[in-house]
Amino acid sequence: MKLPRAKGETKGVLVDLTKCIGCGSCVVACKMYNNNEWIEDRAPTSGENAALADANWTVVEHCRISKATGENLKVGKISPPVRMDGSEEWRYVKRQCLHCKDPACVSSCFATAFKQNENDLGVVTYYPNLCVGCRYCMLACPFSIPKFEWNKPIPVLTKCTMCHNRIKSSDAPACVSVCPTNVMMFGNREELLKKAKEILANDSRYVRHIYGDEEAGGTAWMYISDKPFEQLGFKTSVPKRSIPSYTEGFMWLTPRFGAIWLVVLSFLYFITKRRSAKKEGAKKEGKKTDTP
């Protein structure tokens, strides 16, 4: 589906979790488009223990919710036996990088391996050729998205690219384009946000919250649900303010501190070298004096 592109616009995806049937078509499309291997033995892509990993950029987690309490029946990695008496219901949650409007991974990467330019339409792009493997992005991300290739001799970081090349060509991401139940809606982020608010206003089933509207300053991927987000495994403790905004007030001082530290190190190097030269000179003079 081709969509018109406006200058400076930010693309986004609205995910309606009430429509997902857990088929996993989005997972297959992601794997095929990005040529990622299947690693089900160590990180399943679907089920109650589905997990994002170095080769899993998209997963679908199965959540069992109690009809009586509305709580997720899974505790940690332990899940009780499935009951067939109608007291439980399933919800399926697609997970991937949320592509923050003000991404912490970009601000924390001194090697500029993570970038988000105006021409990127809001997508957080990763350039592995610039990555030094410091993994600061993994620590900075409030959603714990970037993953490291621990099993490879020359590892890099990985995450969902939101099919950047497809978006630049005005196509929807691969996962969105194959969904048989229209769980995901791709378009201009602000228009999708308005659409989400309309749905919540006209349908009492939904929780009165759009996840991704304000979390961490707002994200390109947004969710609506009829079940509490905390019971579906979403991080609801994420601050509304973007992570980089907490440090922008003093980050401008970093280059100045760096310059001062360089001067200090250069001075120490000069002093040390001078002392070493004096000691070497003293040794040579001593040898000359001892020679008959």
Tens-place pLDDT, residues 175-234: 999 999 999 999 999 999 999 999 999 999 999 999 999 999 999 999 999 999 999 999
241: its two tokens: 């303010």
Give the helix/strand (H/E) hosting 45.
none
Tell me the whole-structure pTM to 2 decimals. 0.82
Residue 86 has φ and ψ, to the nearest 5°, of 85, 10
Please tell me whether residue 139 adopts helix, strand or coil conformation.
helix
- Cβ-Cβ contacts under 8 Å for 195 (sequence gap 6 or more): 14, 185
Residue that has been written with the tokens 């857990």 in this structure: 22
**Interatomic CA distance for residues 289 and 237, integer angstroms:** 76
Tens-place pLDDT, residues 231-274: 999 999 999 999 888 865 555 455 555 567 667 777 777 777 77
Residue that wins the pLDDT comparison between 83 and 161: 161
Q: Kindly tell me if the per-residue pLDDT of 3 is higher than 60.
A: no
**Residue-level pLDDT at 248:** 58
Beta strands 11-16 and 221-224 are parallel
Tens-place pLDDT, residues 41-64: 999 999 999 999 999 999 999 999
What separation in angstroms does the CA of 283 have from each of 157, 276, 292?
53, 11, 16
Tens-place pLDDT, residues 107-119: 999 999 999 977 7
**Residue-level pLDDT at 90:** 95
207: its two tokens: 């929780």
Mean model confidence pLDDT for the chain: 88
For the chain, give the percent of residues with pLDDT over 90: 68
**Residue-level pLDDT at 259:** 60
